[in-house]
Amino acid sequence: MQRPKKKSRGGDLSPEEKKSNQQLPKVRVVGEHIGRKLKILKIFSDRYCNRRKRFSLRFNLIAGLRNYELRFPKTEFA
């Protein structure tokens, strides 16, 4: 995870550094939204009580479903 650049004492940030600082939250928000969805599906929020071997399988399955949902959003019909 990248951290925003800080200005030095008595100095200012360059326009490029300011622009990169403005782009960082946009990337971070996407990751936070994904974590939120996984917590809603209870894969991160609760203790996992099933077989450990199947955790990665279930995690990948849920991630695949989420990616499918992002790629093909729900459409409204008339």
pTM over 0.85: no
Q: How many structural domains comprise the chain? A: 1
Nearest to 35 by CA among 10, 69, 59: 59
Q: Does the residue 78 lie in any domain?
A: no
Q: Does the residue 25 lie in any domain?
A: yes
- Inform me whether the pLDDT recorded for 78 exceeds 60: no
- Inform me whether the pLDDT recorded for 74 exceeds 70: no
Predicted pLDDT of residue 76 = 60
d(CA 75, CA 78): 10
Mean pLDDT across the stretch 22-37? 81
Q: Does the residue 2 lie in any domain?
A: no
Q: Does the residue 47 lie in any domain?
A: yes
Q: Does the residue 44 lie in any domain?
A: yes
Q: Does the residue 67 lie in any domain?
A: yes
Q: Does the residue 8 lie in any domain?
A: no
Q: Does the residue 31 lie in any domain?
A: yes
Residue type, 70: L
Element (H, E) at 4: none
Residue type, 71: R
Query: Whole domain around residue 22: which residue ranges?
Result: 16-71
CA distances from residue 17 to 9, 20, 47, 61 in whole angstroms, order as listed = 16, 5, 41, 38
Tokens coding 53? 């071997």
